[in-house]
């Protein structure tokens, strides 16, 4: 190059304006670096299974994908960015939602783990920035996570299941790069809040190269299942017991979601009819079938959620009705080959992923107990016993082995007709079995609950209550004997919404719900779900539902207005419902416990 040309280039370069870095951009960059440094210690490399995860509590609970740990056995090995390997155990499994809860064991007793803060995925918007952390391709041998940064590309996405598993509903789509090995890893917002668990992606079929389309299970969906997972359950997702379809397209008309099929279900018993238009479900508006499927997939089997329908009146016009529906299960037993895990899948860990330690010798096996229907019976027993211990601390009736008597003023039926009620639990003696008796406004009822040739109608006494005496016998068994009061099942049933009886139905029942921990119990062929609220006031029995026949509505009993009586905390309001209708509301005047 000639000297003159070089001089000209130098002069041109010197003439170009030099812009200072934008202070706002510099500040954002610095904050992002700080955020990554803060959240990275909670990211887990699930070595057994070749995936990722994230710690969500200081005692070592972590989330990952089911397809990462499924089939790996209960004992796992996990790495953290501190460079150490940890033993871990499977706690709870969600095959349909592709989620697993595991627990890492501390290297020293009592040591606390770093953990992520769970955010609110309902606040995520398209265009938000997001951070994905994990261990793609098992690149980090020191377990330091790989960090990628990108946009939230879509929300409320639906990804179809594969052979009845791995259904991604209401999930978050992002272009934040994820690859094989990222499965189960966290998706954060820029505040460092956990908003999802990465699990699926669209890849080039030949090289499995990221195409910029990844899907994360929303953290709000996982929150709905977390109480079940902590209780060591194998969870099932919800179905309605009805088929919905879009209305035929007509020019100038809005699309509608119509009930086109019904099976025997709680939805049918609550009054859902063919042709009803579904407008709201679980507090969210529903305008398309896809929206309905997205919302339905967020909830576990057995949850009760409100739904609103619009139907045409005879003679013209429409009416709107809100109903509280218990959701059925989704999962079906699929014979044959297990489904393949969804992309991004997991790479093969090099060498022995368990570090040469057989699973049977893992310390994690001390925290595992197999039992049909449970992911880990050990954790279910822990949850059940903790809950019952909390109940006993507040109301210990184990010494009151004699007769119990409750006297109350009563409001009977839907119209609240005033009357009186006396309920007596007679303890069994030699030659005389346990009995439950009720004198309701002058009418006497008696039940021997364990009598083998008991007529079915007697179990349902008083008529219209759905089996109040049977349910009250289960109540005594729980309060007197705890788990030993039931020769059938006695297990923790996770966390469900509880709807206390209200004088006036709110516009949105979902906002009126309380979180309740569940104890499932079985005795004499009758299944009961006890509903407990926990908080600053301690553990209290809020309600119970006893089911005499799965095709019938349960007897629901609600307990409220707890007061001290004889050194015990006892309910002074007892309400009995059947089929959504009140049978009686008792204002207790006295408890007599012997």
Q: Which residues pair with 516 in a beta bridge?
A: 496
Which run of H or of E encompasses 564? strand 555-565
Q: HSE of 287 in the Cβ direction (CA atoms, 13 Å)?
A: 4
- Residue 183: active-site member: yes
- In the residue annotation, 490 being an active-site residue is answered as no
Catalytic residue among 87, 94, 98, 276: 98
Please identify which of the residues 52, 121, 153, 183 carries the catalytic annotation: 183
Please, are residues 529 and 520 in contact by the beta-carbon 8 Å criterion? yes
Phi, psi of 415 (to 5 degrees): -85, -5
Distance from C-alpha of 66 to C-alpha of 33, rounded to nearest angstrom: 31
Residue 236: strand pairing partners: none
E strand or H helix at 295, and its extent?
helix 289-296
Residues 6 or more apart in contact with residue 311 via CB below 8 angstroms: 273, 275, 276, 277, 318, 319, 321
Annotation marks residue 569 as catalytic: no
In order of 84, 94, 100, 519, the CA distances from 174 in angstroms are: 31, 23, 22, 39
Count of alpha carbons within 13 Å of 251, Cβ hemisphere only? Answer: 0
Residue 21: what are its φ and ψ, rounded to 5°? -60, 140
Chain centroid offset of residue 456 CA: 34
Q: How far is CA 475 from CA 448, 463, 543, 557, 563, in A?
A: 15, 19, 10, 10, 18
Looking at 52, 67, 228, 378, which residue is catalytic?
A: 67
CA distance readout (Å), 104 to 49, 295, 584:
15, 32, 49
Active site residues: 67, 98, 183
């Amino acid at each position: 190059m000639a000297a003159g040309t070089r001089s000209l280039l130098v002069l041109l370069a010197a003439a170009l304006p030099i812009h200072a870095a934008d202070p706002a951009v510099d500040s954002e960059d610095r904050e992002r670096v700080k955020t990554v440094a803060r959240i990275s210690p909670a990211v887990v490399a699930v070595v057994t299974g070749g995936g990722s995860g994230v710690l969500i509590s200081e005692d070592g609970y972590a989330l990952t994908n089911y397809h990462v740990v499924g089939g790996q056995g209960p004992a796992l090995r996990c790495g953290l960015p501190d460079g150490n390997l940890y033993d871990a155990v499977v706690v709870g499994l969600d095959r349909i939602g592709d989620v697993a809860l595991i627990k890492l064991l501390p290297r020293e007793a009592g040591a606390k783990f770093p953990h992520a803060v769970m955010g609110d995925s309902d606040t995520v918007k398209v265009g938000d920035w997001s951070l994905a952390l994990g261990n793609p391709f098992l690149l980090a041998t020191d377990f330091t996570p790989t960090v990628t940064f990108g946009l939230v590309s879509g929300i409320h996405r639906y990804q179809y299941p594969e052979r009845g598993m791995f259904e991604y509903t209401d999930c978050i789509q992002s272009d934040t790069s994820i690859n094989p090995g990222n499965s189960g890893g966290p998706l954060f917002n820029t505040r460092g809040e956990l908003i999802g668990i990465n699990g699926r992606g669209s890849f080039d079929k030949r090289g499995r190269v990221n195409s910029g389309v990844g899907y994360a299970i929303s953290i709000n969906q996982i929150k709905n299942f977390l109480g079940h997972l902590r209780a060591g359950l194998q969870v099932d997702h919800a179905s309605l017991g009805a088929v919905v379809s879009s209305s035929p397209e007509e020019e100038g008309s809005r699309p509608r979601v119509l009930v086109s099929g019904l099976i025997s279900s709680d939805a049918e018993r609550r009054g859902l009819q063919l042709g009803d238009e579904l407008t709201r479900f679980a507090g969210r508006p529903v305008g398309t079938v896809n929206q309905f499927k997205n919302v339905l997939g967020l909830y576990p089997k057995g949850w009760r959620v409100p739904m609103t329908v619009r139907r045409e009146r005879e003679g013209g016009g429409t009416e709107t009705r809100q109903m509280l529906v218990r959701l059925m299960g989704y999962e079906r037993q699929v014979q044959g080959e297990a489904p393949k895990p969804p992309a991004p899948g997991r790479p093969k860990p090099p060498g022995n992923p368990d570090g040469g330690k057989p699973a049977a010798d893992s310390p994690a096996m001390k925290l595992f107990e197999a039992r049909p229907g449970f992911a880990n019976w050990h954790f279910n027993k822990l949850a059940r016993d903790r809950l019952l211990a909390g109940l006993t601390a507040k109301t210990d009736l184990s010494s009151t082995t004699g007769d119990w008597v409750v006297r109350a003023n009563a409001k009977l039926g839907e119209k609240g007709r005033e009357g009186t009620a006396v309920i007596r639990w007679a303890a069994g003696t030699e030659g005389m079995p346990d009995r439950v008796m009720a004198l309701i406004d002058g009418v006497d009822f008696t039940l021997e609950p364990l009598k083998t040739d008991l007529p079915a109608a007697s179990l349902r006494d008083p008529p219209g209550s759905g089996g109040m005496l049977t349910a009250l016998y289960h109540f005594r068994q729980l309060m007197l004997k705890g788990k030993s009061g039931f020769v059938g099942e006695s297990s923790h049933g996770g966390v469900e919404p509880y709807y206390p009886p209200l004088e006036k139905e709110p516009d949105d029942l979902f906002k009126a719900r309380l979180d309740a921990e569940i104890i499932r119990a079985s005795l004499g062929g009758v299944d009961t779900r006890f509903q407990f609220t926990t908080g600053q006031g301690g553990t209290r029995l809020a309600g119970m539902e006893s089911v005499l026949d799965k095709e019938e509505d349960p007897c629901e009993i609600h307990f409220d207005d707890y007061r001290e009586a004889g050194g015990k905390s006892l309910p002074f309001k007892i309400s009995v419902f059947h089929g959504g209708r009140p049978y009686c509301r008792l204002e207790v005047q006295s408890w007599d416990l012997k």
